[in-house]
Structure 1
Amino acid sequence: MQITRFGHAALLVEHGDQRVLIDPGGFSRDETFSLTGLDAIVVTHQHADHVDRDRVGGLLDGNPAARLLADPQTAAALEVGDWTKTAADVAVELGSISLTGVGSRHAVIHPDMPRIDNVGVLVDAGGLRLFHPGDSYETVPDGVDVLAVPLSAPWAKVSETVDFVRAVAPRVVLPIHDRTISDLGYPIYWGRVSELGGADEALLLGQDGSVTL
């Protein structure tokens, strides 16, 4: 499994000849929207940092054969593409990769704000399982090898992030959802996760980092 970051919450996961892009949002690098040869595009929820509605149409044009998977509210709202609604425990098979929905709701930002749909994705490829939760620490799937953990958000605090990593208990943890952190503040967030999370390997990938596992 090769994992490449394209900024913030966007990940490209590759195994064999399969390529899956997760959460091409507004904080993603420009190159995200020029990717081709994708077998699937997954959107965990409707927030702009997870799906850029102004640029996702161009991405779909460049990948006409890609399966399009999104939470129910996003699938209903996006005006381009034929999106399939995802749901917890529903699996989609793509050759050597399996994509399974995890959870159903976005984390609480404030009690006065209605909670929206959020369906994370468990990517199973070559015997490794990668979990991208979108914006939620609520659901903990079994058997996660690699956790892409949201490192900073209006709905999270560091202690909750550490506890989530401990609960998932991955072998490898890597950061996503981190464009909201300043360069000076980054070590505070990542330092606590890497020191206290309990993963065998805390893998700090930059906004364009790549790793093969």
Structure 2
Amino acid sequence: MKITHLGHSCVLIETGGARVLIDPGCFSSGWQGLEGLDAVFITHQHPDHADPEALPGFVRSHPGLPFYIEPSVSTMVDIPGARPMKIDETIPVKDQRIWTVGGRHAVIHPDIPRVDNVGLVISAPDEPTVFHPGDSLEATPDGVDVLCVPMMAPWEKVGETIDFVRAVGAQQMMPIHDGLLNDRGFSMIAGHLQRLTKSSFVTVRDPRPWTPDIEL
């Protein structure tokens, strides 16, 4: 397995013979030039997860590439042929299996309508299982080895994130949703997560592929 963090919540996961891109948003970079992908998954409609300006051109330059989206994404970004995801289904991509969990974005404020959100649990035979929650801390699936943990958002408190990491119980965690954090804030939150949970925090903030060190 290799995981490449392309900024904020965008990650490329290579396992099970497949290359899957998740949440190519406007706070991320490097995904626009990717080739050889087998599928793209988008957890929800917000532009930091689905770039409304760059994605249409990316779609046109990758004819036939499967896109799996939370259904309301289609109201914000034109992705012809995209397949809407349902909660609690398993989507095969070569030897990968992507299980969808969740369903609602975390609350930002009671006066801001909540949108839907689909978390993704990615697994392949004899490889670690990875969980990308999108923008929600509600779903805590079992059997997760690597957690992509949101670090900072208008909807998130550090205490909630600590409890989320504890509930998932992954061996390792790597940061996502960190595009609004400077280095000082990142170090502070990472320190809390490392001290107050049993999961090992791995600082993956640049676009070099990372291979999780997991006991299966």
- Identity over the aligned pairs, expressed in percent? 42
**Unaligned ranges ≥5, structure 2:** none
2:25 is paired with a residue whose SS is coil
Q: 1:124 to 1:16 in 2, by over 3 A?
A: closer
Q: Distance in 2 between matches of 1:142 and 1:67?
A: 27
Residue in 2 that maps onto 1:102: 101
The structural deviation recorded for 1:83 is 1.2
Deviates more, 1:58-67 or 1:89-98: 58-67
Residue in 1 that maps onto 2:10: 10
Q: Which amino acid aligns with 1:44?
A: T
Residue in 2 that maps onto 1:165: 165
Q: Distance in 2 between matches of 1:37 and 1:58?
A: 16
Residue in 2 that maps onto 1:131: 131
The yes-or-no answer on 1:118 pairing with 2:107 is no
Q: 1:183 to 1:115 in 2, by over 3 A?
A: same
Contact kept in structure 2, 1:38 and 1:63, CA below 8 Å = no
The yes-or-no answer on 1:53 pairing with 2:52 is yes
| Residues 112-146 of structure 1, C-alpha deviations (whole Å, 9 max, x = no match) | 11110100111112332100000000111111111
Residue in 1 that maps onto 2:31: 32
Contact kept in structure 1, 2:24 and 2:42, CA below 8 Å = yes
Contact kept in structure 2, 1:23 and 1:50, CA below 8 Å = yes
1:174 is paired with a residue whose SS is strand
Contact kept in structure 1, 2:16 and 2:94, CA below 8 Å = no
The structural deviation recorded for 1:64 is 2.0
2:103 is paired with a residue whose SS is coil
Q: Distance in 2 between matches of 1:80 and 1:177?
A: 23
TM-score (norm 1): 0.94
Contact kept in structure 2, 1:37 and 1:63, CA below 8 Å = no
1:104 is paired with a residue whose SS is strand
**Unaligned ranges ≥5, structure 1:** none
The structural deviation recorded for 1:20 is 0.2
The structural deviation recorded for 1:82 is 1.3
Q: Distance in 2 between matches of 1:18 and 1:65?
A: 15
Residue in 1 that maps onto 2:89: 90
Q: Which amino acid aligns with 2:98?
A: L
Q: Distance in 2 between matches of 1:6 and 1:126?
A: 25
Q: Root-mean-square deviation (CA), in Å?
A: 1.3
Contact kept in structure 2, 1:13 and 1:21, CA below 8 Å = yes
TM-score (norm 2): 0.93
1:193 is paired with a residue whose SS is helix
Q: Which amino acid aligns with 2:56?
A: G
